[in-house]
Amino acid sequence: MPIADSDGTAVYYERHGSGPAILFVHGSGGHHAAWWQQVAALREEFTVVTVDLRGFGRSDSDMSQFDGQDFPGDVVAVLDREDLTDVMLVGQSIGSVAALRAALLRPRRVSSVVLGHSLGGVSHPELRELAAADRAEAVKLPVIDRLLTKEFQRERADLTFLFQQMGTFNAARMADLRNLDTDGPTLQDIADSGVRVAFLAGERDAVLSVKTVTRAHELLPGSHLEIVPDAPHSMYWEAPAEYNRAVARLRRTLTAPKEQEETA
């Protein structure tokens, strides 16, 4: 069983396929198995790595409390143990915050980061205000309606049920990840790292609006923007074909200069 040591914490991960590397970082209700539709579709062309952050899935969950500030180190531990280079990290929702921070800790291993349905915890007053306004609208909806469209829930009751069951395997909860958002990197920190950033969003995301994501893209020079029509917050689950095509396209095209020295 593949285990990485993250400062004494056992972090479970899996590695599939071969080729350029993509490492997926799940959100608050996920774990390594949530990426089943991505692994099956992408492993023929890419090395696909999935990870359980501490408190999630098969990783160590013995601690009484979970600090979101530790999650980027869990991703770094997997990068180091597998000696991966030129990796594209793909985060989902708040997992994107851990992905971006891990990239900034290991810029010589990570060439690019895809912030899926997230601003990656970037410290910027205008973006914080926009994201707060989006959250204020999102909390008016039932949790499942924030993540999946009503049409999908009605037509695919089976996959909706499985989606909800995924979170029951985790000890950590959303509140344990929120601390990730404090003291985030600045736009200048990202630019200085040399890591390329892409924003991947769904047109029907009820958690983070296209307007907010587009503004983040405008403020971060050199970033990429992918808006998938008619896709919800949990695009990877509800619209896997469109999501997988976007991820594969970004993996093939994103590059970054590697002159920067590793900072940690």
Question: What is the per-residue pLDDT for 64?
Answer: 74
Question: What is the per-residue pLDDT for 178?
Answer: 66
Question: What is the per-residue pLDDT for 244?
Answer: 98
pLDDT tens readout for residues 196-216? 999 999 999 999 999 999 999
Mean pLDDT (whole number) for 162-166:
97
What domains can you pick out in the chain, each with its CATH number? Answer: 3-253 (3.40.50.1820)
**Rounded (to 5) percent helix, strand, coil in the chain:** 45, 20, 40
Average pLDDT, the chain: 93
The band of 255, judged by pLDDT with boundaries at 50, 70 and 90, is low
Mean pLDDT (whole number) for 158-174:
92
Question: What is the per-residue pLDDT for 165?
Answer: 96
Mean pLDDT (whole number) for 119-147:
96
Question: What is the per-residue pLDDT for 1?
Answer: 76
Q: Which of 133, 150, 70, 108 lies closest to 260, judged by CA?
A: 108
Q: Using an 8 Å Cβ cutoff, are 111 and 256 in contact? A: yes
- Asked whether the whole model's pTM tops 0.85, one would answer yes
Rounded to the nearest 5 degrees, what angle is found at the Cα of 217, between the Cα atoms of 113 and 29?
A: 50
pLDDT tens readout for residues 46-103? 999 999 999 999 999 888 788 888 999 999 999 999 999 999 999 999 999 999 999 9
Q: Where are the alpha helices (DSSP H) in 51-173?
A: 71-81, 95-105, 125-138, 143-147, 150-155, 157-166
